[in-house]
């Protein structure tokens, strides 16, 4: 009889321990998810601020008849800036028009989806096609971009 009570007590404690471990794992998962959601939200805000700065620079260039304009420290770091021009498939936020996007880098086959879901784009009808590049730091210096107006188009290059 003593053996039976011991087994019942042991099985009850095992069940409680398993439930506790499952709850702790769920809590850790929840905290990690919240952390990464906050980080991604912050990076999206940085990308939106950079797109806004680019649009302001383009307006400034147009108003002052400038051929070049350099923007320092375009962010977020480790994200890419790319253009969608011509007949290529574009992110949803481009509304089928040529646009400039700042998105988290992804595998080529998933880049369009990444820019549609987790990127920021701005319609720029006179955008010239350019090779995408990564934003961030180069030799300890923040990477900027140069906007060049030439023959009715806007070209984007590393500064």
Residues with Cβ within 8 Å of residue 63, at least 6 apart in sequence: none
- Per-residue pLDDT averaged across 70-89, rounded? 89
Asked if residue 10 belongs to a domain, the reply is: no
How far, in whole angstroms, is CA 64 from its chain's centroid?
31
Structural domain contains residue 127:
yes
Residue in this structure with the two tokens 């253009």, named with its chain if needed: 83
**Residue 123: inside a domain, yes or no?**
yes
pTM for the model:
0.74
Rounded CA separation 146/159 (Å) = 5
Domain extent at residue 127? 45-158
Torsion of CA 141, 104, 93, 75, to 10 degrees: -20
pLDDT category of residue 64 using cuts at 50, 70 and 90? very high
Q: How confident is the model over 1-60, as pLDDT tens digits?
A: 556 776 777 788 888 898 999 999 999 888 887 887 776 778 889 999 999 999 999 999
Mean pLDDT in the chain? Answer: 86
pLDDT for the residue 137: 80
CA proximity to 103, closest of 86, 82, 88: 82
The answer to whether residue 3 sits within a structural domain is: no
For the chain, the domain total comes to 1
The larger pLDDT score, comparing residue 116 to residue 36, is at 116
Q: How far apart are CA 50 and CA 40, in angstroms?
A: 15
């Amino acid at each position: 009889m003593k053996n039976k009570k011991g087994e019942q007590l042991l099985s009850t404690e095992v069940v409680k321990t398993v439930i506790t471990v499952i709850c702790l794992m769920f809590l850790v998962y929840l905290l990690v998810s919240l952390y990464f959601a906050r980080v991604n939200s912050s990076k999206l805000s940085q990308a939106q601020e950079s797109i806004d700065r680019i649009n302001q620079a383009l307006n400034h260039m147009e108003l002052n008849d400038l051929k070049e304009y350099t923007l320092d420290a375009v962010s977020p770091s480790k994200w890419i800036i790319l253009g969608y021009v011509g007949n290529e498939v574009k992110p949803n936020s481009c509304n089928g028009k040529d646009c400039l996007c700042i998105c988290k880098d992804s595998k080529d086959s998933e880049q369009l989806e990444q820019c549609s879901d987790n990127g920021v784009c701005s319609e720029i009808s006179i955008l010239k096609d350019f090779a995408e590049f990564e934003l961030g730091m180069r030799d300890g210096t923040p990477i900027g971009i140069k906007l060049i107006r030439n023959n009715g188009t806007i070209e984007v290059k590393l500064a």
